[in-house]
Amino acid sequence: MLPAGTLILILKIAVVAVTVLLVGSLTALARGNYTLHGRINMAVFALTMTALLGLEVIARIISPDIFNDHFERYDAKSALRVHLCFSLPSAALLPLMLFTGLRRRRSLHVPIGVVFLALWTGTFVTGVFFLPHDVP
């Protein structure tokens, strides 16, 4: 099993990759390419859910105590709580955004997307800059 700090580094890389995809998605949207916007958003959904489910399997089933010592050692439990205040709601909005986008429910999709982007910004900042990781 990888150390907790290495897993956090991997998750940080996933957050950066999703953010790059989101920028590409918004660029496609700004250019009026709604098909590309939708396809990129499906990739965002798949990557985010894969990372989230993988993390949950590791943290809840395989090694439930994996992060305890790590966050205590770095005195970063409060940083984790703040991060979760952004990341959990943004993850909860993803399926709703995907559904409304695929159904072309623009009147719901756009406001949910604005809230998601605000939450994702918090997820990015707190996840990439505040959570401690170890360099392997």
Q: What is the mean pLDDT of residues 9-13?
A: 95
- Whose structure tokens read 């205040």? 85
Q: At residue 109, what is the residue type?
A: H
Q: What is the pLDDT of residue 136?
A: 62
Confidence tier at 100 by pLDDT (50, 70, 90):
very high
Tens-digit pLDDT profile for residues 26-65? 999 999 999 999 999 999 999 999 999 999 898 889 988 8
Instruction: Please state, in angstroms and rounded to a whole number, the distance separating the CA atoms of residues 44 and 25.
Output: 9
Q: Are 69 and 4 in contact (CB under 8 A)?
A: yes
Whether 105 maps to a domain, the answer reads: yes
Instruction: Give yes or no for residue 80 having a pLDDT over 80.
Output: yes
**Where residue 1 falls among pLDDT bands split at 50, 70, 90?**
confident
| Residue 109: inside a domain | yes
Render pLDDT for 15-24 as a digit per residue (tens, 0 to 9). Answer: 999 999 999 9
Angstrom distance (rounded) from CA 28 to CA 50: 24
Domain total of the chain? 1
pLDDT attached to residue 29: 97
d(CA 131, CA 71): 9
pLDDT at 5: 93
* DSSP category for residue 42: H
CA–CA distance, 50 with 56 (Å, rounded to integer)? 10
In a domain, 136, yes or no: no
Instruction: Please give the pLDDT value at position 26.
Output: 97
Residues 128, 15 contacting (CB under 8 angstroms): yes
- Considering the chain, what is the average pLDDT of its residues? 94
> C-alpha angle 22/55/85, rounded to 5°?
65
Residue 90 lies in a domain: yes
In a domain, 135, yes or no: no
Of 129, 121, 54, nearest in space to 86 by CA = 121
Asked if residue 57 is part of any domain, the answer here is yes
Domain that holds residue 50: 4-130
Whether 50 is covered by a domain: the verdict is yes
